[in-house]
């Protein structure tokens, strides 16, 4: 029985309702005389995955999900991995339930969190419910938070977003090694992370906003502060309508000199070399969306300083089936791919497609 409840994946609201009802009923029957203070089967749950719930949730069910999660979180004290869905925003009530429950020190992975811009505080980062949550989750190793980006109409945004909080709270996240922050140019949480030591941070996925100055955007400042320890850096803009693409910083090799894997987003930056006379960079893999002649000139200029480069990945394109005609394989994007493969092959560098095939 404990194995059956150890890893739970919820795909529908009705299943979430049944789980919440089961755990609440069991908890009401539990008494304080027992040797273990937490009820079963709630204390057996270690992994709770709600990432596929978005497919079955409409606006009428958001409140129901909110209420079910509020009741559920205090009953799973030994949870180590929680995967939510950004399609379901969390209210302050749910966040309070998650923050104030027992066992947050057991949480190792927290993903799919939707950050609402209304949680940002211009006064003190400690007023942000997400900051208060992370203060309790000091053993986190993986964290994924997804915001809602910027609309094209900046005048509609609250003035508080363009002010640096007067008081900041430092978090304690010594084990955090993988961090994903998407569509979040600024927030009280980001400001707190700027003031927090992240000694084990190795992998970062982030949406670039290099054209927006601090404090309206904290992403480039985040790389300035924490870039030294990062090995894997991925720039990614979630697809929406309309999709607003912002530039990435051109000084990545200055702020992140130890990169092994760099994944870039449109518009591709004019990467600049560090200030040292003969820089040798440890980069091994570069990923771009599609072959781009402008970026080819940038890459060609950098190649003498990238002795460890092993592969260039074109992540939005796949190689054509070998059975296709030579004409089909030499035209359009496929022709550009083959041209890149010939040029880079002379240097022993592989060209990989979306499936990591060459």
My answer on whether 223 and 96 are in the same domain is yes
Q: How many domains does the chain have?
A: 2
My answer on whether 213 and 128 are in the same domain is yes
My answer on whether 79 and 133 are in the same domain is yes
My answer on whether 311 and 176 are in the same domain is no
**Mean pLDDT across 255-276:** 91
My answer on whether 120 and 69 are in the same domain is yes
User: Is the torsion defined by CA of 260, 261, 264, 268 positive or negative?
Assistant: positive
**Mean pLDDT across 233-239:** 92
What pLDDT, on the 0 to 100 scale, is given for residue 166? 63
My answer on whether 16 and 77 are in the same domain is yes
What pLDDT, on the 0 to 100 scale, is given for residue 177? 98
Please give the structure tokens belonging to residue 7.
């890893």
Least reliable range by pLDDT among 64-73, 147-156, 255-264: 147-156
My answer on whether 195 and 64 are in the same domain is yes
**Strand arrangement, sheet containing 109-114:** 7-9, 47-49, 81-83, 109-114, 142-146, 178-182, 203-206, 232-235, 261-263, 285-288, 311-314, 350-352
User: Is the torsion defined by CA of 78, 99, 47, 199 positive or negative?
Assistant: negative
What is the DSSP track for 20-38?
HHHHHHHHHH--TTSSSSS
Let me know: does 87 contact 114? Beta carbons within 8 Å: yes
My answer on whether 200 and 58 are in the same domain is yes
What pLDDT, on the 0 to 100 scale, is given for residue 329? 65
My answer on whether 294 and 331 are in the same domain is no
Q: Mind listing the pLDDT tens digit for each residue in 157-175?
A: 555 555 666 667 889 999 9
My answer on whether 10 and 58 are in the same domain is yes
SS (H, E, C) 238-282: CCCCCCCCCCCCCCHHHHCCCCCEEECCCCCCCCCCCCCCCCCCC
Q: Residue 204 belongs to what domain range?
A: 2-274+285-305
Q: How confident is the model at residue 217 (pLDDT cuts 50, 70, 90)?
A: confident
Residues 6+ apart with CB under 8 A from 74: 97, 100, 101, 102
H or E segment to which residue 339 belongs: helix 332-345
My answer on whether 230 and 322 are in the same domain is no
What is the Cα–Cα distance from 244 to 63, expressed in whole angstroms?
A: 30
Question: What CATH number does residue 300 fall under?
Answer: 3.80.10
Q: Mind listing the pLDDT tens digit for each residue in 82-125?
A: 999 988 888 999 999 999 999 999 999 999 998 887 777 766 67
Q: Mind listing the pLDDT tens digit for each residue in 36-67?
A: 778 889 999 999 999 988 777 777 888 899 99
The larger pLDDT score, comparing residue 214 to residue 221, is at 221
My answer on whether 134 and 252 are in the same domain is yes
């Amino acid at each position: 029985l404990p194995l059956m409840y150890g890893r739970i994946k919820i795909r529908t609201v009705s299943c979430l309702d049944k789980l919440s009802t089961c755990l609440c009923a069991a908890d009401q029957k539990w008494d304080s005389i027992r040797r273990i203070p937490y009820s079963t089967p709630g204390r057996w749950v270690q992994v709770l995955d709600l990432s596929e719930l978005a497919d079955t949730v409409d606006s009428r069910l958001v409140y129901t999900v909110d209420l079910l999660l509020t009741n559920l979180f205090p009953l799973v004290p030994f949870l180590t991995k929680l995967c939510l869905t950004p399609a379901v925003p969390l209210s302050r009530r749910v966040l309070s339930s998650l923050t104030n429950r027992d066992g947050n020190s057991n949480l190792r992975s927290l993903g799919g969190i939707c950050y609402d811009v209304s949680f940002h505080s211009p006064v003190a980062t400690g007023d942000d419910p997400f900051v208060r949550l992370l203060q309790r989750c000091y053993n986190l190793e993986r964290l994924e938070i997804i915001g809602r980006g910027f609309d094209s109409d900046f005048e509609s945004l609250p003035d508080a977003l363009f002010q640096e909080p007067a008081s900041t709270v430092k978090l304690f996240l010594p084990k955090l090694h993988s961090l994903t922050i998407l569509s979040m140019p600024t927030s009280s949480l980001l400001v707190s992370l700027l003031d927090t030591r992240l000694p084990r941070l190795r992998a970062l996925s982030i949406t670039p906003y290099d054209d927006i100055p601090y404090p309206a955007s904290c992403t480039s400042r985040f790389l300035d502060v924490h870039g030294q320890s990062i090995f894997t850096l991925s720039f990614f803009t979630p697809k929406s309508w309309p999709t607003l693409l912002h530039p990435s910083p051109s000084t990545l090799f200055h702020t992140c000199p130890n990169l092994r894997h760099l994944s870039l987003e449109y518009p591709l930056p004019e990467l600049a070399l560090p200030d040292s006379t003969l820089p040798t960079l440890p980069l091994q893999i570069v990923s771009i969306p599609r072959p781009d002649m402008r970026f080819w000139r940038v890459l060609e200029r950098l190649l003498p300083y990238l002795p460890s480069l092993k592969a260039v990945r074109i992540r939005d394109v796949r190689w054509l089936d070998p059975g296709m005609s030579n004409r089909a394989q030499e035209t359009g994007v496929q022709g550009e791919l083959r041209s890149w493969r010939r040029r880079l092959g002379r240097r022993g560098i592989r060209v990989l497609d979306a499936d990591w095939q060459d």
